[in-house]
A and B are shown apart, each in its own frame.
Chain A
Amino acid sequence: DIQMTQSPSSLSASVGDRVTITCQASQDISNYLNWYQQKPGKAPKLLIYDASNLETGVPSRFSGSGSGTDFAFTISSLQPEDIATYYCQQYDNLPITFGGGTKVEIK
């Protein structure tokens, strides 16, 4: 199975800060990497697909980059409504796997 390692596992930042989360795959997954946001008590929501494509309706402060084994997810200016846990997910090979999640909190 492809292991997806996210870091950090949690972070605390101020409103307006730039926040970056990384996701490393245990093998080359090209750009087959997606990012989801899960708010407390809610279902995950797709934000980014194919590493860097913003899903329709998602604010432009969210962005993704990377290919191969190393990926990054960035919130350019953290907003209070961005408090959530963020997950990466690969679909290069079965079984599809998710990263362990990064919990983002407001300082």
Chain B
Amino acid sequence: QVQLVESGGGLVKPGGSLRLSCAASGFTFSDYYMSWIRQAPGRGLEWVSYISSSSSYTIYADSVKGRFTISRDNAKKSLYLQMNSLRAEDTAVYYCARDFGCSSTTCYIPKWFDPWGQGTLVTVSS
């Protein structure tokens, strides 16, 4: 079945770095745009970043621009999020999600997300 599994979360000190991974299975990963979305403890959802199927197009939320980098390896069916200069406000569960609404070869904005992974918790604290 279609599945996304995140890994790489953990406890990191402010200013530190972490790399999240998302392993995809059950669908042709290289056909789909992907996103990272986060949820601070007890809070709502915040979209973080988006990458095209070929990696040629990436966009970020202003809150992470210049600090986070999204990438993918289609051969490994994997999505990544490199997070640098981490802050306490980056503490959240990070979800990867497939953009199931992008049916053309070019999409400039994420549409709808299906499925989502189970999430990985990132805690930024000294």
Mark A residues whose CB is within 8 Å of B: 32, 34, 36, 42-46, 49-50, 55, 87, 89, 91, 93-101
Q: Which of B47, B59, B118 contacts A43 (CB 8 A)?
A: B118
B112 and A95 contact, CB distance less than 8 A:
no
Q: Which of B44, B62, B119 contacts A87 (CB 8 A)?
A: B44
Q: Which of A42, A91, A97, A99 contacts B111 (CB 8 A)?
A: A91
In the assembly, what is the distance between CA of A32 and CA of B109, in Å?
11
A49 contact set on B, CB distance < 8 A? 101, 111-112
In the assembly, what is the distance between CA of A89 and CA of B62, in Å?
18
Mark B residues whose CB is within 8 Å of A: 44-47, 59, 61-62, 95, 100-101, 109-119
Question: Chain B contact residues: over half helix, strand or loop, or mixed?
Answer: loop
**Known pairs A91-B110, A97-B47, A98-B45 / 4 extra A-B pairs, C-beta < 8 Å:** A34-B111, A50-B112, A91-B101, A95-B62
In the assembly, what is the distance between CA of A46 and CA of B119, in Å?
16
